[in-house]
Structure 1
Amino acid sequence: MTEDDAATKIAKSGGGAAKSLMVVAIVTAIGFAFSWFLGSQSVELNGYSIVFLCGVIAFAVNWLAYIPSALAQTDKFYDTMGAVTYLSVTAFACLMSGPLDLRAMVVAAMVAIWALRLGSFLFMRIRREGGTDSRFEKIKVNPARFLVAWTLQAVWVIFTAAAALVAITASERIEIGIFFWAGAAIWVLGFAWEVIADRQKKEFKEDPSSKGDFINVGLWRWSRHPNYFGEITLWTGILVITLPLLSGTAWLAVISPLFVTLLLTKVSGINLQNKQAEERWGDDPAYQKYRKNTPALIPMPPKG
């Protein structure tokens, strides 16, 4: 997945053990500080906001999974544990936040549905590809650099789920209004768009007649990266649902779709996919025409 591509890219540049451990310390400090301020409007447990404790859990889940993975020098569980982290922090937030209103329950369900689909999708990909990932070839044999990747995954979860965690753990419940319904509609659109795009790409790759070709059918005629558009859209929907609850430092929740957008458009995602596509089909006039006439992200009706 592209968010994890960014994590491994940073981990690969980690250098020696001391430098890698410094990166781990800095990233962990950022994650804890972000969770602390994000939880300013959250229900508390023993003096700590539930949002902050969710941040602690995100790191704990990934560091615990790192131990056997590092010992075995395997990346088999890395992607799947990302989904497990989302489910863990969401479940903890629901259990510890007292009676949930409709907004909190719907947002929790949205995150759980997305994470379960993500987890099953990645699990099947691991099985299909034999349980190895070229992104980790040099990282998994270096314990310190491998730890960087697992730590970054925890921060990815905290930042991406920020708006959802605020909605679930809010100490003050607000009546459902236009933001809820608008956000829910945006989430449904984004989730459906992502699921359909992923399904179309899977079917295209499994079709022997399209082996070696670039995909330009279905939603992929409207956008070169419709799955990324769906991903950004669904997290935007959750933020819209959460907007009425935001005040003070809880406004940090707006980082959720912004962070996803940054990852998918600037850090890895589109940049990585474009580079790979140019290497494979750069000399193909049909691909160049497709690239010229089809937006990179935001869908537009196909030309011609």
Structure 2
Amino acid sequence: MIVDFAVVSGASAVALLVVHAITFGVARRVGRYNVVDVAWGLGFIAVAAVAAIVGDGDALRRWLLLTLVAIWGLRLSGYIHRRSAGQGEDPRYADLLRGASVGQIIRKVFLMQGVASWFISLPLQLSAVIGPTPRPLLAVTGAGFAVWLTGVVFEAVGDRQLRVFKSDPAHRGVVMDRGLWAWTRHPNYFGDACVWWGLWLITIAGWWSLSTVLSPALMTYFLVSVTGARLTEKYMKGRPGFAEYQQRTSFFVPRRPRSARK
């Protein structure tokens, strides 16, 4: 199994290298590096495809994982592409890469994302070389699918609600605090975390599977503290009404709005 895992893991690394090399070329051509966000979901799809094709573990689980990752990744990448089309550089990348050389850009953006994608996708890679899920653990698989579905719904609905809200000129400069955004300030990031915890639960087929728990934990850490929620709030600080929104709305995990709990 160790040799089989090494083959799948190595092939996954190569797939990510190809995805990010192409993305770097596109970024240089269009003159902005936030296109790497589009490649985030596509990179995971590439790994899931490699795992499904190269792996020799349970076929049903391999192709189920590929399907679920593809649904999540294609929706996310498509949404980010539409949102950023015709826009300038994302302020996050402008701050991160100010004065950086090409080599530093590759290391800070593309190499970092590639390594993170490889590590976060370890459950998919390991699952691809493990046999069928034992019957007692099928309940865990079902729970994983439910968590994944919850995440996809939160992420997709949250993104759509925000897009519709921002498309109204009357809402320019106004904080979005409706729908799912009234229950959590980051329904999209919360949904993303649920997706990866759900996928991890689906990969559990024995004790070996538990060794990859740091993968969804790292994804959650990124979503909360590094590239997600806290960084977003840094750029929203000082916006009219945002401090009040913080007071009445849960930061990450959904909770009834304070104004409704009387």
State the TM-score, normalized to the length of structure 2. Answer: 0.86
Query: Which residue in 1 is equivalent to 2:191?
Result: 230
Identical positions, percent: 26
- RMSD, matched Cα: 2.5
- How do 1:39-188 and structure 2 match up within 5 A? 43=4, 48-67=6-25, 69-70=27-28, 74-75=32-33, 77-98=35-56, 100-129=58-87, 132-137=89-94, 138=97, 142-148=101-107, 149-167=109-127, 169-175=128-134, 177-188=138-149
Once the 2 structures are TM-superposed, how far is the Cα of residue 251 of structure 1 from its aligned partner? 3.9
> Structure 1 276/75 Cα, relative in aligned 2: closer, same or farther at 3 Å?
closer
Instruction: Give me the whole-angstrom Cα distance separating, in 2, the residues matched to 1:197 and 1:204.
Output: 11
Instruction: Give me the whole-angstrom Cα distance separating, in 1, the residues matched to 2:200 and 2:160.
Output: 26
* 3-state SS of 1:280 partner: coil
After superposition, give the CA deviation of every residue in 1:272-292 in whole Å (9 maximum; x if it has no partner): 2222222223xx4xx433211
Instruction: Give me the whole-angstrom Cα distance separating, in 2, the residues matched to 1:246 and 1:140.
Output: 47
Note if contact 2:23-2:39 (Cα within 8 Å) is conserved in structure 1. yes
After superposition, give the CA deviation of every residue in 1:186-219 in whole Å (9 maximum; x if it has no partner): 1101111111111111111111221110010000
> Structure 1 42/171 Cα, relative in aligned 2: closer, same or farther at 3 Å?
farther
Note if contact 2:130-2:205 (Cα within 8 Å) is conserved in structure 1. no
Whichever residue aligns with residue 209 of structure 1, its letter is: A
- Where do 5+ consecutive residues of structure 1 fail to align? 1-39
Instruction: Give me the whole-angstrom Cα distance separating, in 2, the residues matched to 1:100 and 1:140.
Output: 48
Determine whether 1:297 maps to 2:252: yes
Instruction: Give me the whole-angstrom Cα distance separating, in 2, the residues matched to 1:198 and 1:204.
Output: 10
Once the 2 structures are TM-superposed, how far is the Cα of residue 155 of structure 1 from its aligned partner? 1.3
Query: Which residue in 2 is equivalent to 1:243?
Result: 204
Instruction: Give me the whole-angstrom Cα distance separating, in 2, the residues matched to 1:120 and 1:265.
Output: 22
Query: Which residue in 1 is equivalent to 2:214?
Result: 255
1:191 to 143, 152, 156: 152
> Structure 1 140/192 Cα, relative in aligned 2: closer, same or farther at 3 Å?
farther
Aligned residues: 254
* 3-state SS of 1:49 partner: helix
Instruction: Give me the whole-angstrom Cα distance separating, in 1, the residues matched to 2:258 and 2:36.
Output: 40
- Where do 5+ consecutive residues of structure 2 fail to align? none
Determine whether 1:218 maps to 2:179: yes
> Structure 1 71/123 Cα, relative in aligned 2: closer, same or farther at 3 Å?
closer
After superposition, give the CA deviation of every residue in 1:129-179 in whole Å (9 maximum; x if it has no partner): 25x434444459621111111101111211222222222x12422245111
Once the 2 structures are TM-superposed, how far is the Cα of residue 64 of structure 1 from its aligned partner? 4.8
After superposition, give the CA deviation of every residue in 1:25-74 in whole Å (9 maximum; x if it has no partner): xxxxxxxxxxxxxxx65735xxx431232123213432354356447754
State the TM-score, normalized to the length of structure 1. Answer: 0.75
Note if contact 2:180-2:187 (Cα within 8 Å) is conserved in structure 1. yes
Instruction: Give me the whole-angstrom Cα distance separating, in 2, the residues matched to 1:277 and 1:244.
Output: 42
Instruction: Give me the whole-angstrom Cα distance separating, in 2, the residues matched to 1:213 and 1:145.
Output: 36
> Structure 1 61/258 Cα, relative in aligned 2: closer, same or farther at 3 Å?
same
> Structure 1 259/301 Cα, relative in aligned 2: closer, same or farther at 3 Å?
same
